Amino acid sequence: MDSRLLAGAAVFGIGWGLGGFCPGPAITALPLAANGTLVFVPAMLVGMMLGKLVGRLPVQTAAA
């Protein structure tokens, strides 16, 4: 476990709690234009792209 894993899990949980959707059901609800999906799904996709960019950053290790 590292800080990136913990931060990612926290952001995922906060997004899930605020949006009220799990990613899978949000995508399946998109064609129904269910309340919030038209905001949640694009925000989720932006978050996924940001996560991919952050994942490419080098990991800094503490000097011992």
Mean pLDDT score across all residues of the chain: 84
**Ordered DSSP codes for 5-63:** HHHHHHHHHHHHHHH---HHHHHHHGGGT-TTHHHHHHHHHHHHHHHHHHHTSPPP---
Confidence of residue 25 (pLDDT cuts 50, 70, 90): confident
Q: What is the pTM of this model?
A: 0.69
Task: Spell out the domain ranges in the chain.
Answer: 16-54
Q: Is the pLDDT of residue 39 over 80?
A: yes
Q: Is the pLDDT of residue 64 over 70?
A: no
